[in-house]
Amino acid sequence: MRGVMMHAPGDVRVEERQDPKIVEPTDAVIRLSASCVCGSDLWPYRGVEEVTSAVPMGHEYVGVVEEAGGEVTTVRPGQFVVGSFWASDNTCENCRAGYQSACVHRTLMGTLGAQAERLRVPLADGTLVATPDTPPQDLVPSLLAASDVLGTGWFGAVAAQAGPGRTVVVVGDGAVGLCAVTAARQLGAERIIAMSRHEPRQRLAREFGATDIVTERGDEGVARIKDLTGGLGAHSTVEAVGTEQSMTQAVRATRPGGHVGFVGVAHGVALPMEELFFSLVHLHGGPAPVRQYLPHLIDLIWNRTIDPGKVFDLTLPLDQAAEGYRAMDERRAIKTLLSV
């Protein structure tokens, strides 16, 4: 089958790879309908994460079950499924606490390479959720978004305790940030302030439910948020970038006792504890337990309540994956869908 390999920073190729097979009786093999390029795929692409040998890429996926191992009971061949970017058993104590991304048997799907024609999914019962039926084609992008960016934005909004009566700030206008806006809206937030200086992303943020846009950054951005919140700061802030500036901005934009949900993957960022101490904010984040939210997210998409698939502003066939990476790296695209 064909699949994406990264050989070095900036060097992405679509190559012949071995067809995946059932290895464990808890595995399933799925034929992918679509995959995509993640913001986190840009870390090795840009050389921020080391690439020591050619590696398969991709961890976001939807598709049809082709084969299920002997112990798989909740999905069967022919079903359309959505999975999380962590494979998880969904039965261990961490999973039952809602932290499937910390499952004691977890496997990072990225190591298996979902930017491909087929994919082996370990712990299929715990990882995959079947849709009610084969989805109409126009729902596929949104279901794909649920696999990571929507689930991650959702976790950010939940970690920030977005909800009724609360003012929510979203730092970061990438696909995850935009999905956090959708999530905050669904969770009932009263006011949603998107921090963005890119006109097309501002438009999408408004479409997803943002009530205000702040274009300033850093301390100026914080001052704007304070202006908009009676001098106190937001109740909830979602940090969806992962830099020192964005973390600091998120903490400072939040009122004492407020909540910062951070889902940007931090690289080499250290947070001064004195700043956090005197801010009196709550901080929670990390790799999103997408699996926890999948049934609800599929439902919202199936009923056409939300349309997170709009974050895909570039669709390319799998063979043109290299251009998909380039477009995101150069910020010509928010997120690239690879149709298989």
Residues of this chain that bind its own copies (CB under 8 A): 93-94, 97-99, 101-102, 104, 230-232, 242, 247, 255-257, 262, 265-274, 276-287
CB of 286 to its own copies, least distance (A): 4
Q: State both tokens at 231.
A: 């001098």
Q: State both tokens at 256.
A: 């004492």
Sequence letter at residue 65:
V
Q: State both tokens at 169.
A: 């700030």
Q: State both tokens at 193.
A: 């302030």
CB 300 within 8 A of CB 279: no
Whichever of 284 and 326 has its CB closer to its own copies, that residue is 284
Specify the pairing of strand 86-87 against strand 107-108.
antiparallel
Whichever of 63 and 285 has its CB closer to its own copies, that residue is 285
Whichever of 106 and 118 has its CB closer to its own copies, that residue is 106
CB of 262 to its own copies, least distance (A): 7
Among the residues of 187-266, which ranges form H helices?
Answer: 199-208, 218-228, 244-252
Whichever of 77 and 286 has its CB closer to its own copies, that residue is 286
Among the residues of 37-81, which ranges form H helices?
Answer: 42-45
CB of 231 to its own copies, least distance (A): 8
Whichever of 110 and 309 has its CB closer to its own copies, that residue is 110
Q: Smallest Cα–Cα separation from 152: which of 260, 262, 271?
A: 262
Main-chain phi, psi angles of 221, to 5 degrees: -65, -40
Whichever of 23 and 104 has its CB closer to its own copies, that residue is 104
Whichever of 94 and 339 has its CB closer to its own copies, that residue is 94
CB proximity list for 167: less than 8 A, separation 6 or greater: 189, 190, 191, 192, 193, 228, 229, 234, 235, 236
Determine which helix (DSSP H) or strand (DSSP E) holds 96, and give its type and residue range. helix 93-96
CB of 116 to its own copies, least distance (A): 26
CB of 172 to its own copies, least distance (A): 15
CB of 330 to its own copies, least distance (A): 26
CB proximity list for 216: less than 8 A, separation 6 or greater: 195, 223, 224
> To which residue do tokens 């349309």 refer?
307
Q: Smallest Cα–Cα separation from 264: which of 325, 167, 177?
A: 177
CB of 273 to its own copies, least distance (A): 3
Q: For the chain, report the end-to-end CA distance as a whole number of angstroms.
A: 11
Whichever of 65 and 228 has its CB closer to its own copies, that residue is 228
CB of 271 to its own copies, least distance (A): 5
